[in-house]
Structure 1
Amino acid sequence: VCLAGKGVPPQTLQTMVLKLPFNLSGQRELHVHAEPLWHSYLDNGHWRGGFRLATDEQTATLLSKLVSRYGE
């Protein structure tokens, strides 16, 4: 997954809570761990980085649903 942000990109494993604007199979939050793999800086001072996600099987299924509906 690719994430973007301001400041310094994370260099260590990050625990994240993805808050959804709607219920997805009864869930409004998804808990994932993101391991940083690479990052680069954009001209506007933001960074963009690639991360490997680790999560339980149920959350992985819900993330797959989101990607199939809204992913690029």
Structure 2
Amino acid sequence: FNRIGISIHRKLKGAVKRNRIKRIIRESFRLERSTYPDCADIIFAVRPGFSLNSPAEITSSVAKLEP
């Protein structure tokens, strides 16, 4: 099984915004899970300069990851 870790910097203001980013990343990873090898551990690190323009942007970024 695959595991993911999500690290979001506290300087990204607003717990609601941070939690929304986490939900979008989890869902994007769930949709692309079959492209990754079994037993993969993946860590997503979201830094303060991140801006959430659209959920589609995050989904496309997760889809571009190399397995």
State the TM-score, normalizing by the size of structure 2: 0.26
State the TM-score, normalizing by the size of structure 1: 0.25
Decide which structure has the larger Cα Rg and report it.
1
